[in-house]
Amino acid sequence: MGEGILHKNYKAIVTFFGLAFLVGSIYIHTTGDFFWYRTSRGIIIFFFLGLLVYYQSKKINRALVYFLLLYGLSSVLTIWYENVISATWAMALSFLSYIVLLACLIPKVSFKKMTPLFLAIFLVTVVINGYLLYRLILMIKNVALSEIHYLFILLGAMALAVLGFISLLYNHKYSSRATLIFTFFVFSLIFSEVFRSIGYYDFIVYANISVYIARGLLIVALSMLLNYTIARKKSSEQLGLTTIKSHS
Do β-strands 59-61 and 242-244 pair in parallel, antiparallel, or remain unpaired?
A: antiparallel
- Could you please report the per-residue DSSP string of 145-165? SSHHHHHHHHHHHHHHHHHHH
What is the reported pLDDT for 108?
A: 86
Beta-ladder partners of 60: 243
pLDDT in tens, the chain (248 residues): 445 666 667 788 888 999 999 999 999 988 988 899 999 999 999 999 999 988 876 677 888 999 999 999 999 999 998 889 999 999 999 999 999 999 989 888 876 666 677 677 777 777 776 777 677 677 777 777 888 988 898 889 889 888 988 898 888 888 889 999 999 999 999 989 888 877 776 655 556 788 899 999 999 999 999 999 888 888 788 887 655 454 44
What is the reported pLDDT for 1?
A: 44
What is the reported pLDDT for 89?
A: 95
Among residues 143, 122, 140, which one has the least CA distance to residue 132? 140
- 22 by Cβ neighbours in 10 Å (0-12 / 13-18 / 19+) ranks as middle
What is the reported pLDDT for 96?
A: 96
Task: Give the Cα separation of 191 and 111 in Å (integer).
Answer: 25
Cβ 45 vs Cβ 70: under 8 Å? no
Task: Give the Cα separation of 153 and 134 in Å (integer).
Answer: 11
Among residues 134, 240, 115, 228, which one has the least CA distance to residue 180? 228
Model pTM score: 0.86
Write out the E strands in the chain: 59-61, 242-244
